[in-house]
Structure 1
Amino acid sequence: MIYEKEKEEHEKVIGKYYPSSIGECLRKQYYEFFEEKEPTEEELTIFLTGKSVHEMLAKVLNESVKVEAVEYEVNLNFDEAMLHGKVDIIIADFEGQKVIVELKTISKIPNEPLQRHVMQLQCYLHALNIERGFLLYWDKRDGKKKVFEIFKDKRYYEILKERTLTLHYYISKKLPPIKEAAIKGEYSTCVRCPYKEICKPLELDIEKDSEIIVCEIDNVLFNVEERKKACLEELKVPSYNNLDKKTKEEFFKLFYSEKYLNLDIPIEEKIKEIDDEYFKNNRKIVIITNRPETMREKTEEELTNLGIPFEALFMRKSNQKGKKFKALIIKLLEISGYKVARIIDEEKTIEKIKKEILKLDPS
């Protein structure tokens, strides 16, 4: 009943969008508007838990400060479209100021506030012309809390306006917007998205049902021992084994740079193997590498010089872990309609990637 009431209050009206969603992938918001899915039991439980925590917090706060309003409706208008939402809590006087408290129940408290939550709070601050707010994260597993102080920032007004009007344009024209999460490399978001089967986030410019070979570069297409040795020599350490955390970070920063790339030696046997897969078996080549985006230009140059006919090159972001990153890409390629026929990587890595894929899809 509570969810049905919430659904009624979030009616689908062209020109009326929601602060709680505006920071999310534009393509996802488009599908939510036209292809809304019923929540799973787990999602309903999370929703109801959040409602209970919100109500409890409002009562607790009311004992120590003056709570002016709870679930207060606001609009932020941008010409032909607007953001309409409910502020969790408005405190009338906190340290001499009126402030907003936005509560988020979450599985893991972040080190920094999530941008989509900051965007939501900024919407409320601008709509009510309040200078200060707080994002309160509540860990639903152990009840731990963390608070981030957020000040009204006029730059966010322009961001909110641009995103709202962009979303409005695509919805009013019934045209799907860009696959924003995939373009930004937010692959975990894509895997969790309920609309991934419709979206096909990693759709490539190749035939549907094509067989794909996914391949790493370092230790597969290139022998990188000389690069590794040069990095260790520069750091004045005899071996990679037993490096302390700081030295290990320095090593990888150096290793994943262009400084010693010229020392890499092509592995002809593997290069021929890739050529055979492409020319004889008619399989498309997709490169998924631990190399960071900062090495893209040089990496593309290397692959071109080797004559590797690759369809796409996926490179890891600094905050992504190698095996999980590769598993996410492979899973999304399959969701997007391709058959991953083979993984060419170090043997121990292949097994770890397969285990990570199973975690993404236990069935």
Structure 2
Amino acid sequence: MSEERDWSNLPPELIFLISRKLADLSDFIRFHAVWKTWLSSVPFSDHPPQIPWLLEYDADFSVKACMKEELHFYSLTSHGTKTKSIPIKESHHNKKYNRNAHGYLLVEDGNELSLLNPLTDKEISIPAVQSDSKIEWPIFMASNPIENLYTLFNHKLQKYNLGVYHPDKMEFTYVDSDFCCACYWNSMLLTTQRSCCTQMYDAISGKMLYEIPTPKNEDKVARTYLIVSCGVIFRVSLIFPPCVTIFRIYKLNFDGGKGEPCWVEVRNIGDQIFFLDSWSGFSVRAVAGLKENCIYFILTELGKFHPHNVLLRYDIATSKAERVPCPLERFMWFIPKLC
């Protein structure tokens, strides 16, 4: 008769390998609750890369909404109708929260601004933007807003511009650029409009460094995204021919730093997955249950009484899109973080 295994005494290296397979943060939290030895072997700060959740918002949500008692989420790894909820501290109720990225919501309380992690209640105060600007849409360009730059999608005199926050100086640098998407890479900001050239700025000074021409075969573009994936910048163009959805993907080529930057079309992103919404996109490595070399994207459909979202998956290899079931009506991407 075999001896029963003591699961509390698994080797730390094996516990770590098991934790790497947990793509959903709720599973990672439950994993820690099994044994104290598991918690000590893999601290919360060392959780594996997470597949994003879908954050539900109300029907009246356009850019901002009021905090309520809880936020509702759906995980792609659930493969069903199960949703999750995160309680919100009473002190945050009725504050306005904005779009999000990297696990933080941009919260407004009158003239005061802060970043809030709803999973940990961690809040980071930031200074208000200049008086003639209004925060329209935040786009966080770095994974750690305490140590790195992030940007806000501002609205100034009916023109979009970038406000780049520098935590060490506690101030913003503003870049006047009429853009619809942006990304941060190696201390540089890249911005572009739908089918226009891409402009590259120094994030510290706001000086424009390069103007990258539009890809030659990019046409009938409905929306353009800039995504940093594994240290490489991609331009992802969403095209809507009749009855068909097509993405064209381009990689930024610097020619080893010897030539002018240009876009080169690619047809494979390897083990990565791109996630897109109305304004921005990001990349995550594929995990068990989610197919690599794909694009998950959110579209808004106009219903009879109010708009609602649909989630689709685009297979880059086959150039085909299919609808992905989701129990929520209105949602946006949210990357959960425990630190």
Query: Do they superpose with TM above 0.5?
Result: no
TM-score for both structures, normalised by structure 2:
0.25
TM-score for both structures, normalised by structure 1:
0.24
Greater share of residues in strand: 2
Greater share of residues in helix: 1
Of structures 1 and 2, the larger Rg is shown by 1
